[in-house]
Amino acid sequence: MPDRVYLAIDLGAESGRVMAGLWNGKTIRLEEVHRFPNSPVYLGDSLRWDVVRLWAEIQSGLALAAKKYGQAIVSVGADTWGVDYVLLNRHDEMLGQPYAYRDARTNGIMEKAFRKVPRSEIFAQTGLQFMQFNSLFQLLAAKRNTPELLDAADCLLFMPDFIHWALCGSRVAEFTIASTSQCLNPLTRNWASGLLKKFGLPAGMFPKVVPPGTVLGALRSGVADRTGLGKVNVVAPPAHDTASAVAGVPTANTGKPNWAYISSGTWSLMGAEVQKASLSARTQELNLTNEGGLDSTYRLLKNIMGLWLVQQCKRAFDARGRKYEYSQLAQMAAKAPALRSIVNPDDSRFLNPPDMPKAIQDFCRETRQPVPKTEGELVRCAYESLALKYREVLGWLEELTGNRIEVIHIVGGGSKSGILNQFTADACQRPVVTGPVEATALGNLLVQVRASGELHSLAEMREVIRKSSEVAICQPGKPDAWENAAMLKPDP
């Protein structure tokens, strides 16, 4: 049995899990305690998160952890995707079933918002990339559709903050998750109250912002009893999963601007770790974002549609009775013709299409490219399109930071995609270091270790990750074909 055990609740858009970090003072070993599915549910014509079921699964995972590790457990903390939220009234009752960010209610909402407050002013106040599902635009949709719920709201909690409330009763917003909302000012690190007022949003429902590593309190008595955990502490990690993943990058160059990361999964979040938010007109023009990181850093990054393209292709293939594993799709893609058809992953048609293969084919048809027909051609198109998007964003990051990026770290589930990793190295002409797959859990857990006083800096955390994880390196090759493809990359 290790000296101490820390628990991470990690929720993604496809699955959730409770992970244990077994800490011996020098290295950390991960064990998956409980995994469960997660996906949004259509309720009427809207897309919602079943947070009550998720909370039940979390409690089951915590109970399993208590049986396995007992009194060695020190603390627990949660990370999730960004932007989505739960509203509570003053009696701590949930107001409505939380919407999922792919819900259609925000279609067209940004254009209406810009007529009230100019785009440049919103960016100056928040420093965030414009996406229609950002919390600000979700709230404006709620103000239009269900104003009575906002009127009754006493507290807005983002998804991990809601889990922390369920665990210990805290009503706070952890900094990194709050920074995904487009409601936070990156200079003051507090709510953009002037902007919220202009939009007529009730600023009083936004809770106190706390930094990652904050001890939020002990478990509620009922939770402690039901799970058998006892009164262990709840610690806010970097509660946005990408913030935890970036904290989990095994770089030896903490504080140096010569590396970039891709947190690769359903979304690909590609960026650089910087000390100050970039609020220039050029950053706004490129639609990059400034999200909070550990130790007062910022993640200057671009949200890219990511492996969602492949996931939804697989879903469509399955529905047609052609069921493949992801490894089989990768093999088929490797045999398909190279750099034949390229799409823009961030085209809005790919956000939530009923048929992803058709959406890809329509894009190619409209841009007068060969239309991919086979499963291998479609998936290769998705992989190559992502790699070329990474190349484009790499150039933007170098321009905005004024530094050459020497290496790209790919972490998260997508780091297991050998074909995409090699395409990325080839397209970007940079070495690509892949792994750890569990960067998010590692970042979450090691912030908890640090909160207990056993680590003292982000550099120390990353040293532990290097000692505790395996990584691989993809060297770049075949530059000419990718150079030509980048020059010809189409937009409809």
CB atoms within 10 A of CB 488: 11
Under 8 Å between Cβ of 271 and 292: no
Q: Which 8-state DSSP code applies to residue 372?
A: P
CA distance 421 to 404: 20
Identity (one letter) of the amino acid at 53?
R
CA distance 332 to 316: 16
User: Which sequence positions are flagged as catalytic?
Assistant: 241
Q: What are phi and psi of 459, to 5 degrees?
A: -60, -40
In the numeric block, the tokens 């007068």 are attached to 368
Under 8 Å between Cβ of 249 and 463: no
Q: What are phi and psi of 305, to 5 degrees?
A: -55, -30
Q: Which 8-state DSSP code applies to residue 94?
A: B
3-class SS of residue 297: coil
**DSSP structure string for 63-118:** HHHHHHHGGGEEEEEEEB-SS-EEEE-TTS-B-SPPBPTT-GGGTTHHHHHHHHS-
CA distance 21 to 26: 12
Under 8 Å between Cβ of 192 and 130: no
Terminal alpha carbon distance of the chain: 58
Under 8 Å between Cβ of 201 and 178: no
Q: Which 8-state DSSP code applies to residue 154?
A: S
